[in-house]
């Protein structure tokens, strides 16, 4: 009974978000544009200067092929963070939307899962469009690239749950600076533009602790054909972060909404 209630509630939250965003298509698509711009400016522009880059397995690929899957992972991250940090915090603290929602049969867990489902949908759309762009540009040399889309969904789920957990700790709009800084640091230093081996060992350890690094490495392996059982480690890491974050989110959102 409670499972059906949560599913119905999350579906209602998902539908509500769709009804709102269908009239703001430009804002919805904004998160897709930034990685595309970086792909063209750095992947294609600077790539003409860099030329080729060596993968960990020894294969040499064009720099744009190296950067493109990283931008795909960033696209999924952007969609999740935009929804589960900025929008969720606004609804929770200022719009008081969730207080009104709880006067319906929707439960706090239904709200959490509904918001995460919408973030997954948004990130999935970004990922599918970006992957199609990569294919048109010839940046998916491997037949395994079709598995990149489920990988994007996994990355989106991880960052959606992690972002919602972080949102429950935000005290004011000024804390967005922390979110923006962490997102930017992951964007720049998750082996997105340079191989992990180029950093000092202690920096490598910090990078390997970030979920975006595991997402980038997973997608890069699939799109370039560097497929091995080692990719399952990245999958397991992302799932573990998502599950722990979801537990934290459910607990803290439940407390915040029942005050």
- Among residues 234, 200, 242, which one has the least CA distance to residue 214? 234
Contact 164, 112 (CB under 8 A): yes
Give the pLDDT of residue 222. Answer: 93
Mean pLDDT of 28-52: 69
Give the pLDDT of residue 5. Answer: 64
Give the pLDDT of residue 25. Answer: 62
Give the span between the Cα atoms of 133 and 137, in whole angstroms. Answer: 6
Give the span between the Cα atoms of 240 and 211, in whole angstroms. Answer: 10
Give the chain's domain count: 1
Give the pLDDT of residue 244. Answer: 95
164-180 burial code (b ≥16 CB/10 A, e <16): bbbbbebeeeeeeeebe
Q: Give 164-197 pLDDT, tens digit per residue.
A: 998 888 887 777 788 888 888 998 899 988 889 8
Res. 208: pLDDT tops 90:
yes
Please state the three-class secondary structure of the chain as a single string.
CHHHHHHHHHHHHHHHHHHHHCCCHHHHHHHHHHHHHHHHHHHHHHHHHHCEEECCCCCEEEHHHHHHHHHHHHHHHHHHHHHHHHHHHHHHHHCCHHHHHCCCCCCHHHHHHHHHHHHHHHHHHHHHHHHHHHHHCCCCCCHHHHHHHHHHHHHHHHHHHHHHHHHCCCCCHHHHHHHHHHHHHHHHHCCCCCCHHHCCHHHHHHHHCCHHHHHHHHHHHHHHCCCCCCHHHHHHHHHHHHHHHHHHHHHHHHHHHCC
Domain span including residue 139? 2-257
Give the pLDDT of residue 129. Answer: 83
């Amino acid at each position: 009974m409670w499972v059906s209630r949560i599913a119905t509630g999350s579906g209602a939250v998902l539908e509500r978000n769709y009804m709102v965003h269908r009239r703001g298509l430009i804002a919805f698509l904004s998160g897709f544009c930034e990685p595309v711009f970086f792909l063209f400016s750095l992947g294609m522009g600077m790539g003409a200067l860099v030329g080729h880059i060596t993968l960990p397995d020894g294969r040499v690929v064009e720099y744009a092929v190296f950067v493109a899957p990283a931008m795909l992972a960033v696209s999924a991250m952007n969609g999740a963070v935009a929804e589960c940090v900025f929008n969720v915090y606004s609804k929770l603290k200022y719009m008081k939307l969730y207080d009104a929602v709880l006067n319906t049969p929707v439960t706090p867990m239904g709200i959490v899962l509904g918001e995460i489902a919408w973030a997954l949908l948004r990130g999935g759309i970004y990922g599918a469009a970006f992957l199609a762009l990569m294919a048109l540009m010839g940046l998916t040399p491997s037949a395994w690239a079709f598995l990149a889309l489920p990988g994007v969904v996994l990355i989106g789920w991880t960052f959606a749950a992690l972002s919602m957990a972080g949102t429950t700790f935000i005290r004011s709009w000024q804390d967005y600076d922390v979110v923006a800084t962490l997102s930017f640091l992951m964007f720049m230093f998750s082996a997105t533009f340079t191989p992990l081996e180029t950093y000092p060992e202690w920096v490598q350890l910090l990078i390997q602790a970030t979920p975006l690094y595991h997402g980038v490495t997973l997608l890069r392996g699939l799109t370039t054909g560097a497929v091995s059982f080692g990719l399952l480690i990245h999958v397991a890491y992302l799932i573990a972060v998502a599950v722990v974050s979801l537990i934290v989110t459910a607990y803290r959102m439940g407390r915040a909404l029942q005050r």
